[in-house]
């Protein structure tokens, strides 16, 4: 049977994710937005590219949730993005209401679906989605680590003048300034970058990764990055749709792993048809563990601030 993925938010990230899902012919796509005409117009445009791009995925744009019924996955990108000078956390008050409302409607029509959250501030929005859905923790997954790691991979590839395909990288922690890129677990054809670059160069790439989102916001002036974020969300969706058992860094609800409890934090997880099928525990060195705990503390602070908003 053809799979169905609903993408909520037909803006930059959502529409690009819909395009990538269709062009990879992974599923039929339902694109939802509150703005009348936008999801319909973008879907029609994408459908008209299909003969040239050679796929038969059906794409439907709507302003309500009936057509999303029984989706295998729902990717949530609804909300406002950052403007120059804003942190992801500045989006909290607006996006928590949007994400709560969206999740309630999604869940009504797709009680068995798997949620991939993209809206920022990412880790806090995962908490909103977990609570509003009442889903088990394996079915609420945040997209951040795949994107942050892809940024680091792109920078390593450019620095060493090798194919991006040779690079793997790992970034843990919250999706913010305290994210934890792990050079020791970042490799070029299997060789850790710590063997290939000076500590100074590694630090420069790590810093650029931490500021990767802000660098693009500063250049675009309006809106934030969307090509790589859409690719990252679609890689996660593909792993689930194809039951690949693929290990990717994602925001997952931890219940004791890494010494953290009751919090969404970016860690390596195994993605398959049940969503998060395993949380991978890495043997972290002291300073890496400290950095992860610091990042988790920043997430917890934000979640508490959100809870105090009532």
Task: Give the residue numbers marked as catalytic.
Answer: 175
What SS3 string covers 291-304? HHHHHHHHHHHHHH
- The nearest distance, CB 82 to ligand NAD, in angstroms, is 6
Asked whether 157 and 209 are in contact (CB, 8 A), the reply is no
Only one residue has tokens 């590219």, namely 49
Q: Which string of x and - marks every residue 59-88 that binds ligand NAD (by CB under 6 A)?
A: ------------------xxxxxx------
What does the CA dihedral 233, 297, 257, 275 come to, rounded to 10 degrees?
Answer: -20
Contacts of 187 (CB under 8 A, 6+ apart): 167, 168, 169, 193
What are the tokens at 98?
């949007």
Q: Does residue 9 bind ligand NAD (CB under 6 A)?
A: yes
Residue closer to ligand NAD by CB (options 105, 194) is: 105
CA–chain centroid gap for 53, Å, is 25
Q: Which string of x and - marks every residue 30-59 that binds ligand NAD (by CB under 6 A)?
A: --xxxx------------------------
Longest dimension (CA), the chain: 55
Stretch that binds ligand NAD, among 113-121, 155-163, 272-280, 287-295 (CB under 6 A): 113-121
Closest residue by Cα to residue 255 from 279, 277, 272: 279
Among 4, 5, 6, 10, binds ligand NAD (CB under 6 A): 10
Kindly identify the residues of this chain, within the stretch 128-147, that bind ligand NAD according to CB under 6 A.
Answer: 143-144, 147
Residue closer to ligand NAD by CB (options 57, 124) is: 124
Interaction site with ligand NAD (CB under 6 A): 8-14, 32-35, 77-82, 91, 95, 98, 101-102, 118-120, 122, 143-144, 147, 175, 223-226, 229
């Amino acid at each position: 049977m053809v799979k169905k993925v609903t993408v909520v938010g037909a803006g930059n990230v959502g529409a690009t994710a819909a395009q990538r899902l269709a062009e990879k012919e992974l599923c039929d796509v339902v694109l939802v937005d509150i703005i009348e005409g936008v999801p319909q117009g973008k879907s029609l445009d994408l459908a008209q590219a299909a003969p040239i791009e050679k796929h038969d995925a059906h794409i439907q744009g709507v302003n309500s949730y009936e057509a999303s019924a029984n989706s295998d996955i729902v990717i949530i990108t609804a909300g406002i993005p950052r403007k120059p000078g804003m942190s992801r956390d500045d989006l909290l008050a607006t996006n928590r209401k949007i994400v709560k409302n969206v999740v309630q409607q999604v869940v009504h029509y797709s009680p068995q679906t798997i949620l991939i959250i993209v809206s920022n501030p990412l880790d806090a929005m995962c908490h909103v989605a977990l609570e509003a859905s009442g889903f088990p923790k394996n079915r609420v997954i945040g997209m951040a680590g795949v994107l942050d790691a892809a940024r680091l991979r792109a920078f390593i590839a450019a620095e060493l003048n090798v194919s991006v395909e040779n690079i793997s990288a790992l970034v843990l922690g919250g999706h913010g300034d305290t994210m934890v890129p792990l050079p020791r677990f970042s490799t070029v054809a299997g060789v850790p970058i710590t063997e290939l670059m000076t500590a100074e160069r590694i630090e420069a790439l790590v810093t650029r990764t931490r500021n990767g989102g802000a660098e693009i916001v500063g250049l675009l002036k309006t809106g934030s990055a969307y090509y790589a974020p859409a690719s990252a969300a679609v890689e996660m969706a593909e792993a689930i749709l194809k039951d690949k058992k693929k290990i990717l860094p994602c925001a997952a609800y931890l219940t004791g792993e890494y010494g953290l409890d009751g919090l969404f934090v970016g860690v390596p997880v195994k993605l398959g048809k049940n969503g998060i099928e395993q949380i991978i525990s890495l043997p972290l060195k002291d300073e890496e563990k400290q950095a992860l705990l610091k990042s988790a503390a920043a997430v917890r602070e934000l979640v508490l601030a959100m809870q105090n908003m009532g």
